[in-house]
Structures are given as C-alpha cells and as structure tokens.
C-alpha cells in the first residue's frame, strides 16, 4: 500500500542515527530526563564499576539545565560505593559522532571541562 511505503520512507528520513544517541526534546509542560549507563565487571575478582551520566530539562525549558554524573564501584570488601556530582552546565557538551544512517551504532562523546570526556 502506498500509505505504508510513504510512512516508512518518511520515518526513515526522520531518523538521524541510532535510537541510543542523545535526543532533542522541545520545550513542553513535562520535565525530561535522559541518561546513559555503562558497567564493566571482572567476574574473576568480583570487582565492577559503572558510570552513569544524566541530563535534566525542566518543564518549559528549551535546553537541558542540569547534568549529573556518578561512579559506582563494587569490590568484595566494599559491596557498593558511589561518588556523584552535578556538573557545570555551561561547560558541558554532548558531541554527536554517529553516521546519519538508520541502524548505525550509537556514537557520541560527553565532554565536561574539569571532568573529562566519556
């Protein structure tokens, strides 16, 4: 059917890259949170760590206004240890690196002066 072909084509044209890339969210009446989580585990030593980064956009705001980062460490002697901080929003950027092809892998870089690149 023609309407299915048109909708599928239109849907693919609107897709910038991976669905796991950061999303633009226009101002609305609702708050918006987006975050990324990565965990690395060494099962032979029972040690793991995770990095969590999240951004928050309050209602009616055009841009994200808060960025939060956390490091979670787990060892046999210390089951869970968490360090977290709010980053300076004026020095925080998300740089897209994905190719504009549907189904391409997610690639972006999170940068914050004084915190580093992730």
Average of per-residue pLDDT across 9-36: 67
Point out which residues pair with 116 in neighbouring strands.
112
Which is higher by pLDDT, 35 or 101?
Answer: 35
Mean pLDDT of the chain: 77
Extract the tokens encoding 91: 């020095």
Question: b/e for 103-118, b at 16 or more Cβ within 10 A?
Answer: eeeeebebebeebeee
pLDDT of residue 45: 94
Give the list of residues 6+ apart from residue 21 with CB closer than 8 angstroms, or none. Answer: 96, 98, 106, 107, 108
Confidence of residue 18 (pLDDT cuts 50, 70, 90): low
d(CA 47, CA 105) in angstroms, rounded, equals 28
**DSSP state, 24?**
-
pLDDT of residue 102: 66
d(CA 97, CA 9) in angstroms, rounded, equals 23
CA neighbor of 55 nearest in space, from 23, 98, 16, 15: 23
CA neighbor of 66 nearest in space, from 81, 82, 54: 54
Which is higher by pLDDT, 26 or 52?
Answer: 52
Question: Does the pTM exceed 0.85?
Answer: no
Do you know the residue count of the chain? 118
């Amino acid at each position: 059917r023609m309407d299915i072909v048109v909708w599928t084509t239109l849907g693919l044209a609107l897709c910038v890259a991976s669905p796991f890339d950061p999303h633009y969210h226009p101002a609305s009446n609702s708050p918006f949170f987006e975050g990324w989580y990565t965990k690395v585990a060494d099962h032979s030593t029972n040690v793991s760590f995770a990095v969590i980064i999240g951004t928050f956009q309050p209602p009616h705001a055009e841009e994200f206004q808060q960025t939060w980062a956390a490091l979670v460490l787990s060892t046999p002697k210390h089951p869970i240890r968490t360090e977290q901080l709010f980053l300076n929003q004026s020095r925080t950027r998300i740089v897209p690196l994905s190719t504009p092809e549907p189904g391409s892998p997610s690639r972006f870089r999170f940068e914050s002066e004084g915190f580093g690149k992730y």
